[in-house]
Amino acid sequence: MCQNCAYNSPKYLGRCPNCGSWSSFVEEVEVAEVKNARVSLTGEKTKPMKLADVTSINVHRTKTEMEEFNRVLGGGVVPGSLVLIGGDPGIGKSTLLLQVSTQLSQVGTVLYVSGEESAQQIKLRAERLGDIDSEFYLYAETNMQSVRAEVERIQPDFLIIDSIQTIMSPEISGVQGSVSQVREVTAELMQLAKTNNIAIFIVGHVTKEGTLAGPRMLEHMVDTVLYFEGNATTPSES
Ligand SMILES: Nc1ncnc2c1ncn2[C@@H]1O[C@H](COP(=O)(O)OP(=O)(O)OP(=O)(O)O)[C@@H](O)[C@H]1O
Ligand SMILES: [Mg+2]
Ligand SMILES: [Zn+2]
């Protein structure tokens, strides 16, 4: 399977015919899945209805103290939405989300899952960034099953996954960060977001070019994709 675009081939290919990536193929065992049978995300049976009869709801967007962050989200954090934050390594994704999390914990319950850093490391950084509220849960975990269990227990309003490449589902074959893992975990997160009305932020090591480390197909699965880019200034200029 191409690790860039999820293109399938029964044999190894040097270059992906779909996206043109070189040496992007990794052997993955396909599991027969009934899980993929399409079901409504909310688990409810729906019927077609007249557009005029659909009641419009006014979503309550939670505003953070970061104006620009609110703006790119269309005015604030939307409950039940799945947002991908992509960007180069070291650009500041974890720092930004931690800062946003400390603010969100003033208005709701935050569960910050990190598969990259220890709880101690994150706390040190969080203390530098702002007031930590008691409704801020840190969870250093990489197993999706455990994450799901904690989400059901804590019932957070906001869930941060840092990063999607480090979380894995034990029921699925494939190593951490492989296309099948990323796809399955993202699908599960989507379900969690919709059924529990949680706003979920996923950190992904995905560059705009999509070449470096990123399965591009993540973009098609989430509601919103935000790319975090720095401007090319030297330290002395900034
Ligand atoms: N707004 C900022 N201004 C100055 N320094 C920052 C800012 N945001 C992050 N940093 C610093 O940049 C470094 C990398 O930040 P961070 O770990 O958040 O990046 P990341 O995108 O999560 O990286 P990785 O991809 O490795 O997880 C840290 O040392 C952090 O203190
Ligand atoms: Mg990080
Ligand atoms: Zn490809």
Residue 104: predicted pLDDT: 93
**Higher per-residue pLDDT: 8 or 44:** 8
DSSP per residue over the chain, as a string? -BTTT----SS--SB-TTT--BS-B--------STTS---TTS-------GGGSPP----PBP-S-HHHHHHTTSSBPTT-EEEEEE-TTSSHHHHHHHHHHHHTTTS-EEEEESSS-HHHHHHHHHHHSPPPTTEEEEE--BHHHHHHHHHHH--SEEEEE-GGG-B-TTS-S-TT-HHHHHHHHHHHHHHHHHHT-EEEEEE---TTS-SS--TTHHHHSSEEEEE------TTT-
**Higher per-residue pLDDT: 149 or 231:** 149
Residue 138: predicted pLDDT: 93
Residue 109 Cα to ligand 2 midpoint, Å, equals: 21
User: Which bound ligand lies closest to the C-alpha atom of 2?
Assistant: 3
Atom 31 of ligand 1, residue of closest alpha carbon: 95
Atom of ligand 1 at shortest distance to CA of 228? 21
Atom 15 of ligand 1, residue of closest alpha carbon: 92
Residue 238: predicted pLDDT: 41
- Supply the mean pLDDT for the chain: 84
Residue 175 Cα to ligand 3 midpoint, Å, equals: 18
The confidence band for 227, taking pLDDT boundaries of 50, 70 and 90, is confident
Task: Answer yes or no: is pLDDT of 154 > 50.
Answer: yes
Residue 93 Cα to ligand 2 midpoint, Å, equals: 6
pLDDT by residue (tens digit) across 76-117? 999 999 999 988 888 899 999 999 999 999 999 999 999 988
Averaged pLDDT for residues 215-221: 77
pLDDT by residue (tens digit) across 195-211? 999 999 999 887 666 54
Task: Answer yes or no: is pLDDT of 59 > 80.
Answer: no
Residue 167 Cα to ligand 2 midpoint, Å, equals: 13
**Higher per-residue pLDDT: 174 or 163:** 163
Task: Answer yes or no: is pLDDT of 58 > 80.
Answer: no
Task: Answer yes or no: is pLDDT of 129 > 70.
Answer: yes
- Ligand 1 is surrounded, with C-beta below 6 A, by 87, 89-95, 116, 205
Task: Answer yes or no: is pLDDT of 150 > 80.
Answer: yes
Residue 147: predicted pLDDT: 96
